[in-house]
């Protein structure tokens, strides 16, 4: 097994654990913004500490970071912030496994975007995969009261699809950022990019909360015993993703990362005692099939 595949599987597992811990933060009285901020608050200092340790270990300095690097880093960082915000909000709408499955529409959306905007043709297999994925999303997004209510485009659908699109842009930004760092070591490039991105995220989210939700930052700090594990798992998972992005094309990394669906279903059933309905399981299966087909066959 290639290194990037193993790293991706581990990153997907850690990310699922982080989402589980983050979902529980809603029970502590934190707002969606506060729960999202907790994901970055402790991750920033940990990532910077890791970068400093690597620089001392290799006795090397951080290479100059170009404007192109920062463009990729900001794109990825902002995409992840808003996508995480959408995902945390989504947890209040539907079950844990279904919420995670919604974010996996990212590959389908990027395939469609490439065809419409970049002029990259979609093969017959790719088109069929997009149709299958759309069917999966329709099944997953079925309102609890049924389609007859007329609420096909419900809040869960919008949040999930938005999170998927933003996670896709985030992955592209992080892949680009790691490639812009002039160092042959993949771990060093991943850690350096992660440190810069998480520092930006802490500052951006801190300013947002101070402006929009005065006092929420204090509540996050007051619950540090619960929020610290979110930050630790967040930085470990991100380090895995960044390292995989530094080694391999982001599309292939995200393809293998779909194993997160299996992890989320297991946690949903074993930890939260949430039993997905048959129609939701069918939708998750179709969505997974479409993503694998697009990346591996199209």
Q: Taking 50 as the threshold, does the pLDDT of residue 298 lie above it?
A: no
Task: Give pLDDT tens digits for 134-193.
Answer: 777 767 666 555 545 445 556 777 788 888 889 888 888 888 899 899 999 999 999 999
Q: What CA–CA distance (Å, rounded) separates 98 from 81?
A: 20
Q: Taking 90 as the threshold, does the pLDDT of residue 69 lie above it?
A: yes
Mean pLDDT of 58-74: 93
Q: How many CB atoms lie within 10 A of CB 292?
A: 15
Q: Kindly list the domain boundaries of the chain, sorted by start residue.
A: 3-106+150-274
In this structure, of 102-106, 113-117, 153-157, the range with the lowest mean pLDDT score is 113-117
Mean pLDDT of 270-285: 76
**Average pLDDT over the chain, rounded to whole?**
80
pTM: 0.78
**Residue 94 near residue 264 (C-beta atoms within 8 A):** no
Q: What CA–CA distance (Å, rounded) separates 293 from 134?
A: 13
Q: What CA–CA distance (Å, rounded) separates 94 from 157?
A: 10
């Amino acid at each position: 097994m290639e290194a990037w595949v193993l790293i991706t599987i581990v990153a997907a597992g850690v990310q699922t654990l982080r989402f589980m811990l983050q979902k529980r933060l809603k029970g502590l009285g934190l707002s969606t913004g506060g729960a999202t901020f907790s994901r970055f608050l402790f991750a920033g200092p940990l990532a910077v500490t890791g970068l400093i340790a690597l620089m001392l270990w290799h006795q090397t300095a951080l290479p100059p970071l170009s404007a192109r690097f920062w463009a990729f880093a900001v794109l990825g960082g902002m995409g992840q912030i808003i996508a995480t915000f959408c995902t945390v909000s989504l947890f209040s709408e539907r079950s844990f496994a279904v919420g995670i499955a919604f974010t996996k529409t990212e590959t389908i959306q990027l395939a469609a975007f490439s065809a419409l905007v970049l002029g990259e043709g979609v093969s017959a297999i790719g088109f069929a995969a997009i149709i299958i994925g759309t069917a999966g999303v329709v099944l997953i997004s079925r309102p609890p009261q049924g389609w007859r209510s007329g609420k096909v485009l419900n809040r869960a659908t919008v949040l999930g699809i938005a999170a998927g699109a933003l996670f896709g842009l985030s992955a592209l930004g992080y892949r680009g950022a790691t490639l812009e760092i002039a160092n042959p070591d993949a771990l060093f490039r991943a850690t350096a990019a992660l440190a810069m991105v998480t520092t930006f995220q802490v500052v951006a989210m801190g300013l947002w909360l101070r402006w929009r939700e005065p006092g929420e930052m204090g509540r996050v700090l007051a619950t540090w015993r619960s929020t610290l594990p979110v930050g630790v798992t967040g930085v470990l998972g991100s380090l895995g993703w960044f390292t995989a992005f530094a080694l391999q094309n982001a599309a292939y990394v995200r393809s293998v990362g779909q194993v997160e669906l299996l992890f989320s279903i297991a946690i949903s059933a074993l930890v939260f005692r949430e039993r997905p309905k048959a129609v939701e399981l069918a939708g998750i299966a179709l969505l997974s099939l479409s993503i694998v087909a697009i990346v591996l066959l199209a």
